[in-house]
Amino acid sequence: MNKKWMIVFFILAWTFPVSVHADKIVNTNSTYTYEEMQGDLEQLDDTYGDLVEVFDIGDSVYDRDIYLVKLGYGDDHVLYNGSHHAREWLTTILNMNMIEEYAKGYLGETSFPSYNAKQVLDDTSIWFVPMVNPDGVTLQQKGLSAFPEEVHDKLIEWNEGSTNFKRWKANAQGIDLNRQYPSGWNNVTKTSRSYKNFKGDYPLQAPEAKVMRDLQYLLNPELTISYHTAGQIMYWNYRIEPEDYERNSRIARNYSRFSGYDLVQFESNGSGYTDWVLDYWDQPALTPELAVYPGPTNVDPARFPTAWENNKVAGLYAAREGFDISDRDYREKAEMWLDHRTKRLLEEEGENYTRVQALDERYQLHPVQMMELYSWYQSCQNCSAQSLSEEMEGLKAFDEWKEEKTVQPNHVFTVRFNTDLTAASRSSESFYLQTENGEDMETGAVQGGEDTVLVYPPKGGYESRETYSLYIKDITSEEEYEMEKEIAFTFHVE
């Protein structure tokens, strides 16, 4: 019996963005603030239609939004991020400029050497978290005035007595977000709150790091890039397995060739996002450091044009690589690691992630739906079953399993729906056959329960070497959703 045939709901009906000739949205030569990013994201979302989708996926400690952006239409996924470290907000400008310039590239309004942005983004979706640490960036740029007065003393203490916050790297709890990931966390020595390097009381304590963890679990990207700014070098090789060495070193060397960044040959100290992806997920991950080390402060935005030249093609290259390396066996291995090494963490901390995952198992969600649901869970207070089903209604649609196939004459189809059906829907009224020349035929019998229907062949079986279509119509779910359109599934008999 073949269980493969499912009614999966929802394939995105993409509408193509109209060609636009907008003025440049992202100002790359400024002290790029959280508020500026918010405004630009809104404009990018409006300007580029479905090509650019923006999600609010969680809050920082002081209620600033953490944004996720999806760029492109591909079924393979890569994830880029910036500003884990507060003073390194040049990386946010890079993320934002990539979104805008690659979108322009998709529409043919600009072009890049070596890679066609449209081709790349039709195969790979690039997801961005341009500012992982909006509180930290804001503290670094604006100082104490942007925070409630009652926390000023603590912030000054964690800044070693200074009211100048230019060197600040941590979030506003004095936790260094890039020392928060489980891989190598035990080896980090800084154990008290500070403007840099404090690893937290336990891994993934800070809400900003939790959001990144959840994204990693939900998207399971083929490749990730975390942008930082200290030194025009690149980290790439933390605890990689011997069998991944060739793939990972090839990708690192190529990124290095496009960007000019030297590969760091020793391993990092661990506990960073890149380290965690490399170690736990066995997937390629890179930490390019964008600029000449400026000392303990931010890089001057005047350096941005060089950073852009170094990374504009490299970013497209890495997205193309995400498509090229997908569907290899490391995916399976990643899931195994998830079971064995991090299940406990998820049970304790990953509630919203696990909720979305459970819905995904049941409904086979598109990643955009997963992010919409995750975003909903992250922001809802007292999430009730009622409000969830309202949310789900907006996402609901039926579509057919598209692949044609060949079956045995006595084949029994198992049709699984994404929802429980009314008893009336599980009948030969709703399931019937047609021969190739359009003659209607009854199926043998229709049985099943809840969300599953078994369709038996006509008496004596299907005729060998014939082609039939199985039609499904007038299906109603227990929640009284009606299937919107008739489904036809064509198959051949051996």
Nearer residue to Zn ion within complex by CB, 104 or 228: 228
Nearer residue to Zn ion within complex by CB, 136 or 221: 136
Q: How far apart are CA 440 and CA 375, in angstroms?
A: 46
x/- letters, 35..74, toward Zn ion (CB under 5 A): ----------------------------------------
Catalytic-role residue among 289, 321, 349, 372 = 289
Q: Are 173 and 61 in contact (CB under 8 A)?
A: yes
Among 179, 228, 312, 426, binds Zn ion (CB under 5 A): 228
The single-letter code of the amino acid at 442 is: E
- Which region among 207-215, 221-229, 368-376, 475-483 touches Zn ion (by CB under 5 A)? 221-229
Cα 149 to the center of its chain, rounded Å: 36
- Which region among 87-95, 212-220, 361-369, 469-477 touches Zn ion (by CB under 5 A)? 87-95
N-term to C-term CA, the chain: 15
What is the rounded (10 degree) CA torsion for 341, 342, 344, 346? -170
**Minimum CB–partner distance for residue 298 and Zn ion (Å):** 11
Q: Are 222 and 329 in contact (CB under 8 A)?
A: no
Distances from the Cα of 361 to the Cα of 347, 354, 364, angstroms? 17, 10, 6
Residue facing Zn ion at closest CB distance: 228
- The secondary structure of residue 299, as a DSSP letter, is P
- Which region among 132-140, 222-230, 321-329, 408-416 touches Zn ion (by CB under 5 A)? 222-230
Name the burial class of residue 298, with classes exposed (0-12), middle (13-18) and buried (19+) by CB atoms within 10 angstroms of its CB.
buried
Please state, as a whole number, how many other Cβ atoms lie within 10 Å of the Cβ of residue 168.
Answer: 31
Q: How far apart are CA 147 and CA 190, in angstroms?
A: 25
Position 87 contacts Zn ion (CB under 5 A): no
Position 85 contacts Zn ion (CB under 5 A): yes
404 is catalytic: no
Nearer residue to Zn ion within complex by CB, 179 or 228: 228
**Minimum CB–partner distance for residue 111 and Zn ion (Å):** 31
Nearer residue to Zn ion within complex by CB, 224 or 375: 224
Q: How far apart are CA 241 and CA 230, in angstroms?
A: 27
**Minimum CB–partner distance for residue 231 and Zn ion (Å):** 10
**Minimum CB–partner distance for residue 289 and Zn ion (Å):** 7
**Minimum CB–partner distance for residue 94 and Zn ion (Å):** 13
Q: Which residues are catalytic?
A: 289
- The contact set with Zn ion (CB under 5 A) reads 85, 88, 228
